[in-house]
Amino acid sequence: MLPRMASGADGVADAYRAPVADDDSGGRAVDAHEVPGYVVSPTKLALLHVATMGLYGVYWFYRHWRDQKLAAMPSIWPLPRAIFSVFYAAPLFKALDLDARTVGHAPTWNPAAHAAVFIVVNVAARVLDKVSELGEGSRGLALVALLLPLLATVPLLTAQKVVNLSVGDPGGRSNSQLGAGGIVVVLAGGAFWLLVIVGTFMPV
């Protein structure tokens, strides 16, 4: 079942691509010349993550876990790790940091701290969303709950910069264009956010 789901995730990836023992920390034999890495420019990542209200993050985690599976962790299932990213952000960030050091880079970030930020903002958003459902007049709180996960863009951007550096494309230029699908996603996301903001502050 899960392998079929994984192949389905590949099928919806076009909008995000360029247009042209399972031990998560030990026993990883990564070739220094074959470091895994899904490359994407920081600007494109930020646009897609915000436009999709964080849903792009599921695809982002899936792509990185898939690369880790192909390179060093054959027993893992990337799709469940992407869907439940709050439980797997820390091991992924640690693996990405290790990949960078494998090829001689020394990232200055703290992967554990960035994973903690990602986890906290997502959990806090879920809690606020539930609280906003308990009473009337809480549209502002609901908006905060919707906006809060967007802060998770920050740790994802930092992790992505580490990956881009590891594979020799610091700016992510090889995957910096949105393409037709990406443009549609961004425009639709922008329209949605406009409706949400207007609806939140419009008098009842």
User: Residue 121 falls within a domain, yes or no?
Assistant: no
**By C-alpha distance, which of 64, 71, 67, 68 is closest to 155?**
64
User: Residue 118 falls within a domain, yes or no?
Assistant: no
User: Residue 96 falls within a domain, yes or no?
Assistant: yes
pLDDT digits (tens, 9 = 90+) for 145-179: 777 878 899 999 999 999 999 999 999 999 999 88
- Helical pair 111-132 and 85-102, crossing angle rounded to 10 deg: 160
Mean pLDDT score of the chain, rounded to an integer? 81
User: Residue 132 falls within a domain, yes or no?
Assistant: no
**By C-alpha distance, which of 99, 104, 201, 119 is closest to 160?**
99
**What is the number of other CB atoms lying within 10 angstroms of the CB of residue 6?**
18
Q: How many domains does the chain have?
A: 1
User: Residue 40 falls within a domain, yes or no?
Assistant: yes
The domain of 104 spans: 35-113+154-201
User: Residue 63 falls within a domain, yes or no?
Assistant: yes
Residue 200: pLDDT band with limits 50, 70, 90: low
What CA–CA distance (Å, rounded) separates 124 from 141? 12
What CA–CA distance (Å, rounded) separates 17 from 175? 7
User: Residue 162 falls within a domain, yes or no?
Assistant: yes
User: Residue 95 falls within a domain, yes or no?
Assistant: yes
Indicate the Cα dihedral angle 37, 39, 43, 48, nearest 10°: -80
pLDDT digits (tens, 9 = 90+) for 86-97: 999 999 999 999
What CA–CA distance (Å, rounded) separates 13 from 104? 31
- Looking at residue 17, the DSSP 8-state letter turns out to be S
